């Protein structure tokens, strides 16, 4: 299975990295590397995440430290849709945010 990042998820990774980098550049590098590795491992068991149908059809989530990785799985691909801090208002952020057909 291939793991791809939706544009919004790629932006989330950038913002998370920038936020951590402001305080500790080395920690930011380690965290983003671990986050990307965790996203890559979703392809091993794409059905392992918690279904989140109240947010949008087919959406699943898994926790990573204080963040939640939201993804969809279709055929041979896993698409990381968003990566959000667990304390954020996730339903409001994802409201009306069904995945687009953008890469």
Does residue 52 lie in a domain region? yes
Does residue 97 lie in a domain region? no
Give the structural domain span for 87: 2-92
Model pLDDT for residues 58-98, shown as the tens digit of each residue: 999 999 999 999 999 987 789 999 999 999 888 888 875 55
Model pLDDT for residues 20-62, shown as the tens digit of each residue: 999 999 999 999 999 999 999 999 999 899 999 999 899 999 9
Taking alpha carbons only, the member of 82, 74, 64 closest to residue 1 is 74
State the total domains in the chain: 1
| Torsions phi, psi for 51 (to 5 deg) | -65, 140
Q: Above pLDDT 90, what percent of the chain?
A: 70
Cα 9 from Cα 82, distance rounded (Å): 4
Q: What tokens appear for 17 in the block?
A: 């990295």
Q: What tokens appear for 97 in the block?
A: 């945010």
Does residue 103 lie in a domain region? no
Which CATH number characterizes residue 50's domain?
Answer: 3.30.2310.20
This prediction has a pTM of 0.89
């Amino acid at each position: 299975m291939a793991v791809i990042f939706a544009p919004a998820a790629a932006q989330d990774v950038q913002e998370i990295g920038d936020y951590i980098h402001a305080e500790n550049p080395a920690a930011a590098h380690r965290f983003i590397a671990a986050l990307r590795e965790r996203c890559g491992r979703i392809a091993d068991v794409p059905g392992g995440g918690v279904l989140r149908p109240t947010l949008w059809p087919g959406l699943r989530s898994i926790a990573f430290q204080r963040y939640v990785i939201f993804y969809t799985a279709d055929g041979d691909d896993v698409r990381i849709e968003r990566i959000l801090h667990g304390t954020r208002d996730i339903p409001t952020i994802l409201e009306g945010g069904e995945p687009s057909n953008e890469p």
